[in-house]
Amino acid sequence: MHSLKIINLPVPEWNKAELAEMDRLNLAMDSCQRCPEKGYVAFPRPIDRGNASKRLWLIGQAPGFSEGERKIAFAGQAGRKLMQWFAQTGLTEEQVRDYFYLSAINKCYPGRATGGGGDRNPGPAERALCRPFLLRELELIRPKLVILVGSTAIKEVYGEKIKLEEIIGRPQEMTLGELKTRLETRLVRAGEALPAPGLAPHYGFNPAAPVHVFQLPHPSGASTWLNYPRNKALLNQALVDLKGRLDGLV
């Protein structure tokens, strides 16, 4: 796997064919020019995304500026806060980067938001252009557990009207097929063709397989959601629930 160049840990649950396919996928993401060709601002971020040695999948919004400097996912201030949250579940940063594949709705750095306030949030068309990569990750990783970090990732699964206080601290259970259908919705709305069936059946993708889905708020200081005590309580509950599930998986 492309990410093993940095962490250099074994991936016992992956066979050689899967590792080779994941390596090709990472390289394709690192060199993608779909958004710039459509006129959108996007800076490729060839980064280490973790091993997924336990077939766990974390999805954020998009890489930030710091990821380009350190060449690893969640390298900046928000990433440090996220790792502090994981410490409450009993995982070290090294374990997180080994057990999880650290993904994002968009794979490139979208630049700063106009007027300040953090990084720009990629628009619906940009998310659709990047969606085939996310769907292929799902097919290859076949996650046992998924963590959606931030409202952008959460809304891509539960819809634009979902509020953080309605879903943080309330883990969901669904099938891999249901999760795939929910992620395909962005392509359907954009009028984009769904990816042609790939080699997923060969690798054992089972649409009926269960997956546990957890939600966390965005750890960036630009978000004010955690300023409210009731929301901090929801985060704490989410971390307690996540620890309980992780204890049975890792």
Q: pTM above the 0.85 mark? A: yes
Which pLDDT tens digit goes with each residue over 103-121?
999 999 888 888 766 788 8
Please say if the pLDDT value at position 10 is more than 50: no
- pLDDT for 114: 82
- pLDDT for 12: 52
- pLDDT for 183: 95
Please say if the pLDDT value at position 83 is more than 90: yes
- Average pLDDT of the chain is 87
Which pLDDT tens digit goes with each residue over 127-166?
999 999 999 999 999 999 999 999 999 999 999 999 999 9
* Lowest model confidence (mean pLDDT) among 1-5, 123-127, 168-172: 1-5
- pLDDT for 71: 81
Please say if the pLDDT value at position 47 is more than 80: no
Please say if the pLDDT value at position 188 is more than 80: yes
Dihedral sign, Cα of residue 165, residue 180, residue 107, residue 130: negative
Please say if the pLDDT value at position 66 is more than 80: no
Closest CA to 60 of 156, 175, 126, 144: 156
CA distances from residue 55 to 20, 44, 140, 186, 249 in whole angstroms, order as listed = 16, 25, 9, 24, 10
- pLDDT for 196: 58
Give the rounded percent of residues in the chain with a pLDDT score beyond 70.
89
User: Residue 193: pLDDT band by 50, 70, 90 thresholds?
Assistant: low
- pLDDT for 44: 80
Please say if the pLDDT value at position 78 is more than 50: yes
